[in-house]
Structure 1
Amino acid sequence: MSHVGIVLISHSSKVVEGIKDIIRQVVHDVPVEVAGGTDDNDIGTSVEKVQGAIERAYSEKGVLLFFDLGSARMNAEVAIELSEYDNIKIADVPLLEGSYVGAVESGMGKSLEEVLESAKSVLNPNH
C-alpha cells in the first residue's frame, strides 16, 4: 500500500530531525523526509532541499508539506511550482502537531485530502 508522503520544512535541521524522530516512534511505513536549514546548513530554508525532500517522499497518493515559518511556506510554494507533480499540498498547521497527525493518518492509508483535513483538526480539536 502506498502512503501520502510527509515533508517537514524548518529553518533548523535540528527541528525537523527531532520531529521526524517523534513521528518514527509511532509511524514506520510512511515516507517522512526533511528539509531543514539552508544549503550551507545555516538557519533558513532552501528550495532545493524542499524539492529533494518532495522527490524522496513522493508516492502516487501525493505529498503533504508542513512548515514552521512564513518564508518556509514561500519556499514550499516555489518548490511545488517547480515540481512535475500536481498532487502536493501545503498544510497550514502547527509543524509538530500537524505533521504527527498527518503521518498517523497517512499510515492508515488515507488520501491526500483526508490526511490534510485530519492535520487541520489540530487547529480546532472540537470539530
Structure 2
Amino acid sequence: MTGGGAAGLVGLVLVSHSAAVAGSVAELARDLAGAGRLAPVEPAGGTRDGGLGTSAELIAAAAGRANRGAGVAILADLGSAVLTVRALLAEEDALPPLARLVDAPLLEGAVAATLAASTGADLDAVTAAAEEARHYRTS
C-alpha cells in the first residue's frame, strides 16, 4: 500500500473506441468510489476528431494526467485499443514509468481498480482487483 494522499495513488486510464463510453465508465467508477480520497481516473476514448477509434496521443495525454508516481493502470475495450496501448508501452517515454496494460473487462475492471486505488493500494493490487472483476459472477 502507498500512503500520503492523492500524490501516492495509482492512476487509471480507460481506453475505449468511443469518447462517450470512456467518459461514462470513468464517471461511474468515480461515483462508485465516492468522495474523499479518490484515485485519478482519466478517459481516453475515440479519435482526436471525435470519431470512433483509438488515439495514441489521447491515451498518452490521459496517462500523463493520471500519473501520480505510483503507477498507471490502463484498461482497454477492444482489440485495436489493446494494440495501441501495447505499441505505446513498447516506445520509450511514450507513457509514464510504471504504466501497465491490465487484462480486465472495461466496466467491471474500472470500478474494481478505482475502488482499490482509492484505498491506496499499490499497482499490483490495483491490477489484481481489476483482473478479478472478470470472475465476480462465478465466484
- With normalisation by structure 2, the TM-score equals 0.85
Aligned position for 1:114: 125
After TM superposition, give the deviation of residue 80 of structure 1 in Å. 2.3
Could you report, residue by residue, the CA deviation over 1:74-103 in whole angstroms, capped at 9, with x for unpaired residues? 111122233253311111111000011000
Deviating 4+ runs (over 3 angstroms): none
Asked if the contact 2:70–2:123 (Cα under 8 Å) also holds between the matched residues in 1, the reply is yes
Could you report, residue by residue, the CA deviation over 1:44-71 in whole angstroms, capped at 9, with x for unpaired residues? 0000000000100001110000110010
Aligned position for 2:13: 7
Aligned position for 1:23: 29
Asked if the contact 2:12–2:72 (Cα under 8 Å) also holds between the matched residues in 1, the reply is yes
RMSD, aligned α-carbons:
1.4
- Unaligned regions of 5+ residues in structure 2, if any? none
Q: SS of the residue aligned with 1:89?
A: strand
- With normalisation by structure 1, the TM-score equals 0.93
After TM superposition, give the deviation of residue 124 of structure 1 in Å. 2.3
Q: For structure 1, which segment, 25-34 or 2-11, has the greater mean C-alpha deviation from structure 2 after superposition?
A: 25-34
Aligned position for 1:59: 68
- Counterpart of 2:119, as a letter, is M
Q: 1:49 aligns with which of 37, 43, 58?
A: 58
- Counterpart of 1:38, as a letter, is T
In structure 1, distance between residues paired with 2:41 and 2:95 = 19
Percent identity reads: 32
Q: How many residues align?
A: 127
In structure 1, distance between residues paired with 2:16 and 2:95 = 23
In structure 1, distance between residues paired with 2:90 and 2:60 = 10
Which residues of 2 match residues 46-125 of structure 1 at below 5 A? 46-82=55-91, 83=94, 85-125=96-136
